[in-house]
Amino acid sequence: MEPIPDIDPSETQEWLEALDSVLTHEGTERAHYLLERLVEKARRSGAYLPYSATTAYINTIPPGKEDRSPGNHALEHRIRSYVRWNSMAMVLRANKNSNVGGHIASFASAATLYDVGYNHFWHARSENHGGDLVYAQGHSSPGLYAYAFLLGELTEEQLNNFRREVEGKGISSYPHPWLMPDFWQFPTVSMGLGPLMAIYQARFMKYLDSRELVKTQGRKVWAFMGDGEMDEPESLGAISLASRENLDNLIFVINCNLQRLDGPVRGNGKIIQELEAAFRGAGWNVVKVIWGSYWDPLFAKDTKGLLQRRMMECVDGEYQTFKSRDGAYVREHFFGKYPELLEMVASMSDDDIWRLNRGGHDPHKVYAAYTAAVKHTGQPTVILAKTIKGYGMGEAGEAQNITHQQKKMGTTSLKAFRDRFALPVADDTIDNIPYLTFEKDSPESIYMHQRRQALGGFIHHRQRKAEALQIPPLSAFDTLLKASGEGRESSTTMAFVRILNILVKDKSIGKRVVPIVADESRTFGMEGMFRQLGIWSSTGQLYTPQDADQLMWYKEDKNGQILQEGINEAGAMSSWMAASTAYSTHGVQMIPFYIFYSMFGFQRVGDLAWAAGDMRCRGFLLGGTAGRTTLNGEGLQHADGHSHLAASTIPNCISYDPTFAYELAVIIREGLRRMYEVQEDVYYYITVMNENYSHPEMPANAELGILKGMYLFREGSSAGEKAPALRVKLLGSGTILREVIAAAEILEKEYNVAADIWSVTSFNELRREALDVARWNMLHPTAPARLPYVSTCLKDREGPVVAATDYMKIFADQIREFVPGRYKVLGTDGFGRSDTRERLRQFFEVDRYYVTVAALKALAEEGGIATEKVSEAIGKFGIDPDKPNPVTV
């Protein structure tokens, strides 16, 4: 925008002099107050004053207000230079020897940002401090390994095996707790997840503190990310929550190197200004670190603001170009636009101009910004640090569009890098790219260890276990193991709520339970817990709720136990992840139960669910209103027929689709034992439904089968005196098991076919166990063959097998290889739709009549009955054989 012309310069000067006087004698806070009052007065008088969320394109903290670093700057620079070299060497050697990839440029731009944190700010867990949590930028991992190497936490062999992990000697490409369980805390390379997880981690720390479970005061969550990463919706999606919850324990550091993978982040604009507006508008404290110390003398000379104006005029594409050229180019194309600016730098050589540094590479500016962030209260802080991607790589990639993928550097570039950072690498060894180390008694080594000792120890250390919990016995859920009684119907969702109530009342683990919902408590019948447990709020309840006179009123409380996340599945999942890793991050085991519409679970937050596996989460995910035909009146985007397939892709996600209350109780109790007593790094996904029906008593000796994935619910028999000539085996899960039970009755009463009924609680677990057995058999060809559990269950029973579920056919079909004999599968392939349950099951061809026809067809194929019998049944049950396939309509 063109500046507004000054119609009265004298009056303007008077106002500016008055402001200068206030700044000099009363300080910036008084000046800010007066300006705010003037703006308020103008607006109340009807003046149109548009809000501006951005400030000048200069550092937020002026030189005179900067806290100075107390460190040994010469030693820190030398250490940082060694880290830079080793980080680069690791990637170059990995590609030279194995061509396995890696990234140099991201850490090259961020080295100072990490170095200052390591030396002065990041507390490890110790007797005196609970420890800070650092979400590292994924592509910067080589630099963090290089730092750990200099501290002696990693070996040269490990660095030599960067990205070569199969034999267990290497280190992972990015932060992966599953692959490096003693080193990495958070998986962050799937861009956008780090910022989101960090926000909810900081909030969960407040939750733990409010409930007096862990003292978290003084601890900070630091999250590092790139400016290009901020285009991910998850990166900015929850920033308003951070300010609304006053998360002053949260610090974002955004490495603004102006480049994403393919080119400029905002070539035609300014990403720092854009991000400032977004965060300031959301209520964050914003600290910009744009220019380094070498610019300070020029700012002092800039009495007319011409330098600042020129800085604002240039777009990021130009700034990138400046740093890919040289000092002469910058003199001509940056300073050369205004004669006054050329005069300002007339006494400077081209090298002097080239030395003008960016704030993110200046440890003094970074230290000042970090100190301001740590001291700030009442708001989260974001630090916008301007850097150069590929800093130090010279012609091999500094500030070039190709630099993100750059994995090679020639001898000339290596020598330039060496010379730039004054590194002790001889010409005759430089092509070998040797790692650099310090002697144990060297000043640098002593300094590094002293700094970390002062901050509690090595920051990259992950706690694998916490104190085991005392899990209640299965008998604690006795009411759910018995039959519900005549006329008493309920859903498995309500059975879950009953289980949850039992757990929160348990004296040993009740306080550790964290119920989490994404604005669906009433859908799942959990509103009774509002008054009982309270909904956690950092401020308590500042209003009288509309339903205060009712039994189940909406109660918010500072000591509340429920996390009510609003319509925000990604946020709820992030809270669940924070709770499910509390054993590692906070040394206390928490038991999170996050219940959600199953269709809005894995499908919507699949990337987070995968990260949860990597992160070694422990907890329960409950997919409510599950299945494609269980919802009355909902439609295509509510009907889930595939969440179990998504769950099956995560190796340490244990998934179940139970039908009855006793199955659910057995599964949850076993999950508690495995995760919180034995402390296995698994998590559970369990689907529950909203269909009401009666629940039988748990059959004798069914517990083991429930957990393994299937058990014999009822053995088939004849309804009359005549012994059945034919038998079938019917498999079902979830609500469709009840259709299978009804089909068995039809087969026995009307066709004299005995039907064994198997409740399959987990097709996924059956397949995993069977594949493990098959693998063992393949690798031990001379040993007696083992038999998968599913094969063991079915092998000695006559007749074909028919399976029906409320999920896609491939869900039950995945065990086909291990099912002895003929196997037919029914499922709900296709888009969901709205109707009654009965009509939906008929439409998707999974109701009792289709199960019956499938069983009869299987018997006919085996010669047990005439094919005409199948045709007769199709007509009898009113099935249209020419109706469209539901997957196509």
pLDDT tens-digit map of 718-757? 665 567 789 999 999 999 999 999 999 999 999 999 999 9
pLDDT confidence of residue 531:
81
Q: How many CB atoms sit inside 10 A of residue 818's CB?
A: 21
- Copy the structure tokens of residue 65: 């207000």
pLDDT-derived band at 2 (thresholds 50, 70, 90) equals: low
pLDDT-derived band at 376 (thresholds 50, 70, 90) equals: very high
pLDDT confidence of residue 633:
78
Return d(Cα 350, Cα 331) in angstroms, integer.
7
Q: Position 462: which residue type?
A: R
Return d(Cα 399, Cα 73) in angstroms, integer.
26
pLDDT confidence of residue 251:
98
pLDDT confidence of residue 880:
96
pLDDT confidence of residue 635:
84
How much is the average pLDDT of 34-41?
90
Neighbouring C-alpha atoms within 13 Å toward the C-beta of 323: 28
pLDDT-derived band at 396 (thresholds 50, 70, 90) equals: low
How much is the average pLDDT of 275-288?
97
Helix (H) or strand (E) holding 584, with range, is helix 582-585
pLDDT confidence of residue 52:
81
Given a cut of 80, whether residue 619 has pLDDT beyond it is: yes
CB contact at 8 A, 417 and 393: yes
pLDDT confidence of residue 399:
57
Given a cut of 90, whether residue 870 has pLDDT beyond it is: yes
Given a cut of 60, whether residue 1 has pLDDT beyond it is: no
pLDDT confidence of residue 103:
86
Given a cut of 80, whether residue 245 has pLDDT beyond it is: yes
pLDDT confidence of residue 720:
59
Bridge partners of 726? 753
Given a cut of 90, whether residue 369 has pLDDT beyond it is: yes
DSSP-derived 3-state class of residue 704: helix
pTM metric for this prediction = 0.94
pLDDT confidence of residue 374:
98
CB contact at 8 A, 560 and 551: no
pLDDT for 353-366, tens place per residue?
999 999 999 999 99
pLDDT for 106-158, tens place per residue?
999 999 999 999 999 999 999 999 999 999 999 999 999 999 999 999 999 99
Given a cut of 80, whether residue 637 has pLDDT beyond it is: yes
pLDDT confidence of residue 425:
96
pLDDT-derived band at 530 (thresholds 50, 70, 90) equals: confident
DSSP-derived 3-state class of residue 170: coil
Given a cut of 60, whether residue 565 has pLDDT beyond it is: yes
How much is the average pLDDT of 868-872?
97
How much is the average pLDDT of 259-287?
95
pLDDT-derived band at 793 (thresholds 50, 70, 90) equals: very high
Please state the separation of Cα 852 from the chain's center in Å.
44
pLDDT confidence of residue 486:
81
Report in angstroms the alpha-carbon separations of 406 from 74, 175, 419, 690: 30, 20, 20, 54
How much is the average pLDDT of 507-532?
87
Report in angstroms the alpha-carbon separations of 69 from 123, 189, 250, 765: 17, 31, 22, 56
Reading across the β-sheet that carries 285-289, which strands appear in turn?
133-135, 221-226, 250-256, 381-386, 285-289
- N- to C-terminal Cα separation, the chain: 54
pLDDT for 571-617, tens place per residue?
999 999 999 999 999 999 999 999 998 888 888 899 999 999 999 99
Q: Comparing 85-99, 190-204, 380-394, 717-731, which segment has the lowest mean pLDDT? A: 717-731
Return d(Cα 112, Cα 69) in angstroms, integer.
13
- Which distant-in-sequence residues (6+ apart) come within 8 Å of 205 by Cβ? 214, 216, 219, 221, 249, 586
pLDDT confidence of residue 405:
60
**Among 679, 655, 670, 659, CA closest to 473:** 670
803 phi and psi angles, rounded to 5 deg: -120, 140
How much is the average pLDDT of 29-54?
86
Return d(Cα 562, Cα 555) in angstroms, integer.
10
CB contact at 8 A, 313 and 409: no
How much is the average pLDDT of 865-884?
97
- Copy the structure tokens of residue 872: 């007769």
Q: Position 594: which residue type?
A: Y
Given a cut of 90, whether residue 878 has pLDDT beyond it is: yes
Q: How does DSSP classify residue 674?
A: I
Please state the separation of Cα 577 from the chain's center in Å.
7
Q: Max Cα separation, the chain?
A: 113
Return d(Cα 813, Cα 809) in angstroms, integer.
6
pLDDT confidence of residue 175:
97
**Among 421, 321, 438, CA closest to 332:** 321
Q: What is the mean pLDDT of the chain?
A: 94
pLDDT confidence of residue 631:
85
pLDDT-derived band at 836 (thresholds 50, 70, 90) equals: very high
pLDDT confidence of residue 98:
85
